[in-house]
């Protein structure tokens, strides 16, 4: 029998799953709320089916959606409870670590596994990682990207820009243009929990919030080049952001494409990376 009287709805991108893990780890939310996680980009055409979920929500955590009128904040406020805790969270993205360039078009590797891959061959990897860019031109581009990041913050209830500025040279913050590391997700999650705790007293324990220099994450990824690290004075090791070093990653992707090894998604890619490790061990 469900004795929980309160309802929480997360209508977010794939990061929602991670936020729920944090809620369960650091608060009593799970004992107080029925938690309904809806992957937003999978349900954009199903508003009528989800309308009752929004109407019954005591907490709604949502990415700001502009292109689907049903899900705009203005529209949702017409059906939400008057005392709902509405938390608009940012879709955090940042292009400032990567110079615009021509991307490689793959035949065997799908975009949902690898994107923003440089148009290089295996013999150009070292040269690519060590390209020297004009500092004045790059910093102008970087500052324009910071303006965009600040604009993202203005459309959210979570303030993250100052956190980013203070910490981004010491800790990895993005794996590619559109995918923040757990350092940013942990921060955003902590700010969400603070807001919930203010209204519902969920016993938030922030002792688990720690920034890490070696994220060694898996997922969408684009290596940062040495020149960018030097111009921004990045302190952390660029080869410990992903599960494998930058050069190794670039090489393995190119090998998969060159030998016609299909890669259908991220899970498949992880298997292909491990497969290459096993080949190397057998050859040694």
**How many angstroms separate the CA atoms of 155 and 64, rounded?**
7
Residues 238 and 224 sit within 8 Å (Cβ to Cβ): yes
Q: Taking a C-beta distance cutoff of 8 angstroms, is the pair 169, 181 a contact?
A: no
* Distance from chain centroid for Cα 79: 30
Strands 179-180 and 174-176, by their bridges, are antiparallel
Low-confidence ranges of the chain (pLDDT < 50): 1, 279-284
Q: In this predicted structure, what is the pLDDT of residue 279?
A: 43
pTM: 0.92
Asked if 105 contacts 120 with a C-beta cutoff of 8 angstroms, the reply is no
Nearest to 70 by CA among 85, 88, 50, 91: 50
> How big is the chain by its Cα radius of gyration, in Å?
21
In this prediction, residue 275 carries a pLDDT of 67
Using CA atoms, how far apart are residues 153 and 164, in angstroms rounded to an integer? 11
Separation between Cα atoms, residue 232 and residue 126, nearest integer Å: 20
| Structure confidence at residue 67 (pLDDT) | 85
Dihedral-angle region of residue 43 (phi above 0 means left; psi in -120 to 50 means alpha; beta otherwise): alpha
- What pLDDT, on the 0 to 100 scale, is given for residue 164? 98
Which pLDDT tens digit goes with each residue over 64-87? 998 888 999 999 999 999 999 999
pLDDT at residue 173, as a whole number: 98
For residue 48, report the phi and psi dihedrals to the nearest 5 degrees. -60, -35
Reduce the DSSP state of residue 121 to 3 states and report it: coil
Q: What is the per-residue pLDDT for 282?
A: 39
Which of 191, 189, 226 has the alpha carbon at shortest distance from 180? 189
Enumerate residues 6+ apart whose C-beta is below 8 A from 223: 129, 238, 242, 246, 249, 250
CB 236 within 8 A of CB 171: yes
How many Cα atoms within 13 Å fall on the side-chain side of residue 122?
Answer: 10
Q: Beta-carbon neighbour count of residue 192 at 10 Å?
A: 21
pLDDT digits 0-9 by tens, 107-118: 999 999 999 999
Cα-based torsion angle of the residue sequence 63, 67, 71, 72 in order, rounded to the nearest 10 degrees: 80
Scanning the structure block, which residue is given the tokens 């013999």?
A: 123
The span from the CA of 176 to the CA of 223, in Å, is 8
Query: pLDDT at position 2, please?
Result: 58
| C-alpha torsion sign, points 27, 33, 35, 36 | negative
Per-residue confidence (pLDDT) for residue 37, from 0 to 100: 97
């Amino acid at each position: 029998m469900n004795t929980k009287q309160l309802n929480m709805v997360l209508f977010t991108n794939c990061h929602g799953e991670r936020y729920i893990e944090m809620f369960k780890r650091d608060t009593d939310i799970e004992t107080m709320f029925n938690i309904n996680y809806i992957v937003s980009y999978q349900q954009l055409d199903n508003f009528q089916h989800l309308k009752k979920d929004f109407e019954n929500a005591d907490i709604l955590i949502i990415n700001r959606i502009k292109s689907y009128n049903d899900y705009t904040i203005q529209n949702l406020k017409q059906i939400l409870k008057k005392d709902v805790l509405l938390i608009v969270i940012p879709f955090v993205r940042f292009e400032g670590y990567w110079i615009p360039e021509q991307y490689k078009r793959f035949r065997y590797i799908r975009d949902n596994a690898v994107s923003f891959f440089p148009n290089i061959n295996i013999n150009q990897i070292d040269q690519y990682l060590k390209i020297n860019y004009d500092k004045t031109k790059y910093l102008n581009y970087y500052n324009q990207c910071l303006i965009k990041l600040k604009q993202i913050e203005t459309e959210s209830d979570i303030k993250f820009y100052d956190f980013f500025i203070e910490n981004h040279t010491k800790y990895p913050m993005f794996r590619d243009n559109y995918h923040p590391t757990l350092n940013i997700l942990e921060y955003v999650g902590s700010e969400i929990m603070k807001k919930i705790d203010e209204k519902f007293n969920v016993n938030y324990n922030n002792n688990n919030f720690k920034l890490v220099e070696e994220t060694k994450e898996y997922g969408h990824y684009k290596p940062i080049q040495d020149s960018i690290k030097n111009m921004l004075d990045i302190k952390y090791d660029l080869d410990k952001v992903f599960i494998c070093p930058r050069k190794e990653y670039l090489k393995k992707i190119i090998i998969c494409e060159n030998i016609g090894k299909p890669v259908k998604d991220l899970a498949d890619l992880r298997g292909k990376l491990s497969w290459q490790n096993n080949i190397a061990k057998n050859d040694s």
